Structure 1
Amino acid sequence: MSIPTEPIGSLPRPHALQLAFTEHAAGRLDDAELARVQGEAVADTLARLEKLGSPVLVDGDQGKPSSLTYPLTGLAGLAANGAVIPFADGHTRQLPVLTGGPFRYQVRAETYLRTARTHTDLPIKQAVVAPSALSLLYPADGIDGYSREAFLGDLADEAEAEIRGCLDAGAHRVVLDFTEGRLSLKLDPSGGLLDDFVALNNKVLGRFTEDERARLGVHTDPGADHDSTHSLDADYAGLLPKLFQLTVGNFYLQLAGEPDRERVLQMITEQLPPGTRVFVGVTDPTDPRVETPEEVRDRVLEAARHIPVDQLGTCDDAGFAPFADDTSTSRDTAFAKIDARLRGSELAAQALGL
């Protein structure tokens, strides 16, 4: 395909996996049986993407309880009363809060990648949580004997190890999920929190070579959970200049659900670093309607009027189910939207003579 196109990460879990998560949490299903059901969901996800002709695959986060907290699975030293993330439709998600250190990932994303690798030889990208998101685990009043500076040092080491493990396992691309970037502008309109997030992420990214960073990316969106968002009303103008300071070769931006795409595209054109590629969202996971290939084509052509084609790619606006319990979008609808993205991107390439 002449215009690179990639999924973001998460896909709705099959009903059998949803049930298995529930039974496992209640202690009625053992680890081995849960792993078996997860493995079946991964195999089905990869097979369906391959059948659609997707040039790059993802495992759909079938093994993750959420794209945000998966490294914490089984971690001692957590309390439940962490930061609350409110969504536009009124529902919330709450992070845990750290009660002790040292901080260590309990699960690294390379384990999901290695499982996916057993099912296909096609390129697989791996989404990882950005260290900036996990920095929100540290309590405002501190932890006796474990300073915030020590925590951030441990967090940077763990994030580096996870990314490096995914690269070593053969990931086509490793993409940091940076949905908290836009959210930070609602939490702190001054932009100070966003500056801290960018600095922390760049501290980790700076440990990789230029060639390695060409295989790294950052994805940002205003949230996509139960067909709602947490920060669509935060202006992209406050995010993009700082987002593009992140030292990666690829950026994945929500765009299909943006109320003024032309304005955002103009900002991207003015600020996109040379030598990087931007994948623009052409399908909206929070919209239950399945886009037509022609609609996707027109969105790609719209983007191509602003962004040089050799720096342009397409993607979905966000993952379809970043939290495992999100059933707002059916599995069939998600794959139908992906099919529209693939077909529409090809129609646009043909229209551009590529």
Structure 2
Amino acid sequence: MDTQTPKAKASKGSVKIKVSNNRLQLVFSCGGKRHYLSLGLSDSQTHRKLAEMKVRAIELDIVSDNFDQTLEKYKPQFTRSSITPITPTPPNLPSLDHLWEQYVEFKRPSVSPNYLAKELGTAERVINNQLPTRSLEDAVQIRDWVVAHKPANAAKRLITQLSSCCDWATKSNLIEVNPFSGMAKELKLPKNGKKQQIDPFTQQERNQIIQAFTANQYYGHYGPFVSFLFKTGCRPSEAIALQWKHIAPDFQLIIFEQSAIDTEYGLKMRKGLKTQERRQFPCNTSLRDLLITHQPSDCEPELLVFPSPGGKLIDFHNFRNRAWKTILGNLKEIRYRKPYQTRHTFITLALENGLDAKDVAGLVGNSPEIIYKHYAGTKRELVVPEF
């Protein structure tokens, strides 16, 4: 199992000694690029002293702007010798969890916090806690385990991530061959497999759900939030991040321009939306009444419109698993659907009540093609009808 020195935030020019498969490795950043230099030395007291000499040489060159980007200057002499080489013993492959740790650090500056927490974080938990082996020599066994234990979509995503990691590792000269290459393409998804099934509630079911939330002793706090989701069709992450400064003083217009996302450090607000920077949503009478009634007397612009009971961002996963499942579970006459169907319900009812598909697309932040393909069969001032 790989070990390493305790993590600490490195200063500019700082070089760390790490151990991978009992081999010493130097890790550092220079010029915005992450470097991994294998010394080809086993982890011993004598070799540690040699590694520390390399550390001091590299740090000195970095701060004096004499750093050799090719790394040739810092490689052990025996790796640059011109003597006739003997056939080397194949080196031990680094373990998958060790490669993944380096891959995440490489990706960190270029991906969103949400992607880090959800996509990469989910894969990391499987690698560290669930896989039967983390040896790259057992790539086929890893693939077979993933296929047997994960849903088809999740399995394909995970194998794709592992392959991307090993592609990066080959380009970084950490391994010679990507053992997961081509595996994801061989995994066939069910033809009817959809990421998000469109299964809207009826208008009567919508009204029952809103009423049930409003009247509930424990979850009545979420009544306005649920009603807002049904009346706007916005993504839950957009409603969670909404502040009173985004609502016009006369309650005629809402500006959606930020969303709540999961990160490694918890829920955070991010500027911009999933498919656009911002969009406007005109309020009809019922939506205006909801906002007027819901606005607190001591309202401040920065306050959340729909805070959690503790005054923070709503944890949507917690809301879905507790409040939503409880309320829908009590409504025996309504078939259970996930809370994201509030968005599909708005779109479906808007189309049924005469709004053009292009206008609905503008209201909810989708493309007209998506609306036509999944919901429906001239630019003008939009008015949301009562429904």
Q: TM-score, normalised by structure 2?
A: 0.24
Greater gyration radius: 2
Which of structures 1 and 2 has the larger relative contact order (alpha carbons within 8 angstroms, sep 6+)? 1
